Structure 1
Amino acid sequence: MPQGNAPTAHGVRILLGDLCEVTAGPSGSLLDRLHDGPDGVPVISPPDLAGDHRVDSRKVRRVPQIDADRLERFAVREGDVLVVRQGALGRLALIEQAQSGWLYGSSCLRLRPLPGGILPAFLAAYLSHPPVQRAMLGQALPGTVPALNSTLLRELPVTVPAMDRQYAIVEALADVADQIRIQRQMAERLESLRPAIFRELLQGTRDTWR
């Protein structure tokens, strides 16, 4: 367990830098051959971070394999958490097995939890909690484009419950996320039916809609 822990009513308060490796993305000049084609290694950027802590790979850009080999230290693996550090501050994603080996761009920070300290899914949920988001954004450096400094982010205190409590929280939040996805799919299906229903009602081929 990291040093300097502070017990609280809900767990142990630990600095983020004692729980994770915090690594800023590569300089933009090292990614000057980013392209939209199908070949090469994907590079995750802020627009690719979806609202449900996932990476949306539909528009991800890529670099040639030779560039990816040079930038191997900026590869992600399952369990990493990517946080936007420049621009759309506060957005984040939990890396899944499907994205292992991908790279991340200069506008992101990679948080790699140390073994035995914190569950990656719990960390992603914790950093998304509104009071924690406000604390994170409060550390942003002022400027035309606000930015999170990796050194200051390491000083962010994290309340870490016992491991069994972390598992329970992650499981409960996963159930909620599943229900949200189901409801969204239902809403999208109904929305897609709207034009057909209108057309049938307009043509008089449908009397009522139940």
Structure 2
Amino acid sequence: MAPQDAWGDAQGERIPLGHLSSVTAGPSGSLLEHLHDGPDGVPVIAPPDLTEHFSVDARRVRRVPSRQAERLARFALRAGDLVVVRQGTLGRLALIGTEHTGWLYSSSCLRIRPHRDVVLPAYLAAYLTHPPVRRELLGRALPGTVPSLNSAMLNQLPVTVVPLERQRAVVEALADIDEQIRIQREMATRLEALRPSVFDELTNRWPHQ
């Protein structure tokens, strides 16, 4: 089959996520019964550790003893994995970096390990966080007091896949936008910090009657 035929038309092909990656639910809570807040052991990523910017906030991450982590090696993360919340704040995810290699993830999360010969991790992360896709994902959630997702639902989710070269172009374009967003946020933060001092200076210089 020619490469173009394999990918379908120029707009990309809709392929189930389960054909593009392996999806693995986190270990059961009983396997993580020794979670603690201390500095020793292996970190375990939970939903509160996933930020709105698709990254991991490690400041409050909990840990399990190293000996227990060895028994949970099949749940170890590596760079390029995606961790997705499956209970609670559905749809939130993080793209795992090299600094998180060997970490674990909780029972409230799912791990997506992309097949990199067909889909780039950063492209898949961008796709799954695209608002229309998030709405479709949430629409597939199991109803209940706490809506939830499972591996079967994610495996069936259709993903629009374009050739790798185009995926790289998408990732690069989004990275440029993200960098501009970061710069603008930093500028806004500096201006907010400057505002009170400007007010104080101007009022103190005001001529007294």
The two structures share one fold, judged by TM-score above 0.5: yes
Tell which deviates more after alignment, 26-35 or 72-81.
26-35
CA offsets per residue over residues 36-68 of structure 1, 9 Å max, x none? 221111111111111121111122111111121
Structure 2 regions of 5+ residues with no counterpart? none
Question: What is the CA distance between 1:79 and its match in structure 2?
Answer: 0.3
Tell me how many residue pairs correspond in the alignment: 203
Alignment of 1:7-26 (within 5 A): 7-26=8-27
Identity of aligned residues (%): 64
Kept in 1, the 8 Å contact 2:7–2:161? The answer is no
Q: Does 1:194 align with 2:195?
A: yes
Instruction: Name the counterpart of 1:117.
Output: 118
| Aligned partner of residue 23 in structure 1, secondary structure | strand
CA offsets per residue over residues 108-128 of structure 1, 9 Å max, x none? 100001130100000000001
Instruction: Name the counterpart of 2:159.
Output: 158
Question: What is the CA distance between 1:10 and its match in structure 2?
Answer: 1.1
CA offsets per residue over residues 122-142 of structure 1, 9 Å max, x none? 000000111111111111001
| Aligned partner of residue 90 in structure 1, secondary structure | coil
Match for 1:129: what amino acid?
A: H
Question: What is the CA distance between 1:177 and its match in structure 2?
Answer: 0.5
Kept in 1, the 8 Å contact 2:40–2:63? The answer is yes
Match for 1:98: what amino acid?
A: E
Name the CA distance, whole Å, in 2 between partners of 1:189 and 1:51. 21
Structure richer in helix, relative to its length: 2
Alignment of 1:165-184 (within 5 A): 165-184=166-185
Structure 1 regions of 5+ residues with no counterpart? 206-210
Match for 1:54: what amino acid?
A: S
Runs of 4+ in structure 1 off by over 3 angstroms are 5-9
CA offsets per residue over residues 147-174 of structure 1, 9 Å max, x none? 0021121001111001110000000000
User: What do you get for the CA RMSD once the two structures are aligned?
Assistant: 1.8
